[in-house]
Amino acid sequence: MSLEKIKRIDSNRLEVPSDYKPGMRTKGIIYLSKDLESGLETQAIDQVANVATLPGIVGVSLAMPDIHAGYGFPIGGVAGFDFKEGIISPGGVGYDINCGVSLLRSNLQKKDIMTRIKDLVAALYQEIPSGVGSKGKTKLTTDDVKRILIDGAKWAISEGFGTATDIERIESGGCLEGADPTIISQKAYERGKGQQATLGSGNHFLEIQYVEEIYDEKIANVIGLFKDQITVMVHTGSRGFGHQVCTDFIELMEKAARKYSIALPDKELACAPFQSQEGQDYFSAMKAAANFAWANRLCIVHWTRETFQKLFNLSPKALGMSLVYDVAHNIAKLEEHIVDGKRRRLVVHRKGATRAFPPGHPELPEIYRSIGQPVLIPGDMGRASFVLIGTQRGMEETFGSTCHGAGRVLSRHQAIKKAKGRAIWREMEDKGIIVKAAGRETLAEEMSEAYKDVDDVVKVVHDAGISLKVAKLRPLGVIKG
């Protein structure tokens, strides 16, 4: 392999040619501007190339501008594999299965909450369990968890945590059919029982925001966003349950790769043919973890609404706090795409990437079918987040995918070292952002310098036309695990 072989296609894309590394079946495309190119890791490029060696890959191996090195696939990696001839890989989904984002809109404006922002952050921190090993308020049995694994967000609604109108505003209706609770390990169940309806730690957060800028008034009106409006963003996933599912199946997939004589350039890409028993078992277990995550986020959304209602003494109607959308960004899904003029059934892996389907797509809810899928892109806690919309160009070039966040530039260890002697919470408060976290190290790991500037990342996908900017959201209060 040779870095000299990497070439720039245009201002927003780099090409990793198919002769970059032995065994590549196709080329790689990395969506990246010249401004972000200096932070591109050689390891991440290698991972894009490694994915291109996997059996049954269709089109090209893709990466979004928030790319950085991950486990197996790069974070920001997207790849489609043929339904019959291709593979499925836990390394193309990640440990936090269906880590994703929910966005709530409200009738409140920035001026309505500024005198109560500290009280609001404290109340939400009290009501929503967060931090390493945090325990949920719901007391679950193994049978309860099995119901969650089958029903996803529908379980939350049946228990009173959410409303029927939420379902149409969640990707895939908050439930993937075909989850099989019988193939889940007892250890995963034990971890899941205590962690449903918890925010967790690391880069997971709940953020109170306001709409700073509207880029597309027409689409913002359909979504229900307006300038200076208060929104809330929730970022979390399947917690320890999903992590355990991934751990359990990586070992199985390593054996499967040997069994089916799949040559791997990196053992972290352990995989099995999608149609094999091992492949189908992982797919079913992944669906179970994805459903766990959708139920998790909806419970947190429910308690967020309740907290706002109590603190501001507002009725649900007066508050108007409704779900804009909920998106997954660590998942593999069976989808149909047009490739080289032919409709093909593919297993699309999105690892730190967000689905961004165009207007008219049949999988979109009726309320958004005319405009396309809302895309939610969180930034770091000190800058901003974005709402975008899916496009036809993205469907044609990236299997309807876009970035999922800002993307790290410092490891957690590097960030903690850089933050030594600093009071990150005070630096945030000086910016007008109230932050509450379980520990000082969490704030150090998640400080703004640890991430790319989300404005630069979003500019790439917008300028490339694979998703388009609708609104910019600025943080006012943040809860970190």
DSSP secondary structure string for all residues of 255-271:
HHHHHTT---SSGGG--
- Whether 404 sits among the annotated catalytic residues: the reply is yes
In a domain, 273, yes or no: yes
CATH number at residue 219: 3.90.1860.10
Domain of residue 475 covers 100-480
Q: What is the pTM of this model?
A: 0.96
In a domain, 8, yes or no: no
Model confidence pLDDT, tens digit, residues 271-312:
999 999 999 999 999 999 999 999 999 999 999 999 999 999
Nearest to 108 by CA among 25, 206, 274, 229: 229
Q: What does each C-alpha distance from 405 to 377, 383, 451, 452, 474 come to in angstroms?
A: 5, 12, 9, 9, 14
Model confidence pLDDT, tens digit, residues 45-69:
999 999 999 999 999 999 999 999 9
Q: Which two tokens stand for residue 259?
A: 């069994």
pLDDT, residue 469, reads: 98
The answer to whether residues 43 and 69 touch, using CB atoms and an 8 Å cutoff, is yes
Query: What span, in angstroms and rounded, lies between the C-alpha atoms of 64 and 62?
Result: 7
Tens of pLDDT along the chain (481 residues) come to 466 899 999 999 999 999 999 999 999 999 999 999 999 999 999 999 999 999 999 999 999 999 999 999 999 999 999 999 999 999 999 999 999 999 999 999 999 999 999 999 999 999 987 655 555 567 788 999 999 999 999 999 999 999 999 999 999 999 999 999 999 999 999 998 888 888 987 789 999 999 999 999 999 999 999 999 999 999 999 999 999 999 999 999 999 999 999 999 999 999 999 999 999 999 999 999 999 999 999 999 999 999 999 999 999 999 999 999 999 999 999 999 999 999 999 999 999 999 999 999 999 999 999 999 999 999 998 899 999 999 999 999 999 999 999 998 888 889 888 888 898 889 999 999 999 987 778 888 888 888 999 999 999 999 999 999 999 999 999 998 7
Query: What span, in angstroms and rounded, lies between the C-alpha atoms of 356 and 463?
Result: 15
Provide the CA 183 distance to its chain's centre, in angstroms. 25
In a domain, 236, yes or no: yes
| Dihedrals phi, psi of 75, to nearest 5 degrees | -65, 135
In a domain, 360, yes or no: yes
Number of domains in the chain: 1
The answer to whether residues 474 and 23 touch, using CB atoms and an 8 Å cutoff, is no
Query: What span, in angstroms and rounded, lies between the C-alpha atoms of 380 and 369?
Result: 30
| Residue with the two structure tokens 């089916």 | 260
In a domain, 409, yes or no: yes
* Given 235, 302, 404, 462, the catalytic residue: 404
pLDDT, residue 443, reads: 86
Residues in CB range of 196: below 8 A, 6 or more apart: 136, 138, 140, 145, 148, 239, 241, 292, 295, 296, 299
Tell me the one-letter amino acid at 220.
A
pLDDT, residue 135, reads: 55
Q: What does each C-alpha distance from 212 to 22, 160, 303, 403, 470 come to in angstroms?
A: 48, 33, 25, 21, 11
Nearest to 445 by CA among 422, 475, 427, 419: 419
Measured from the Cβ of residue 43, the count of other Cβ atoms closer than 10 Å reads 11
pLDDT, residue 137, reads: 64
In a domain, 58, yes or no: no
Cα dihedral 357, 33, 99, 266 in deg (nearest 10): 110
In a domain, 56, yes or no: no
Residue 22, CB half-sphere, CA atoms under 13 Å: how many?
Answer: 4
In a domain, 226, yes or no: yes
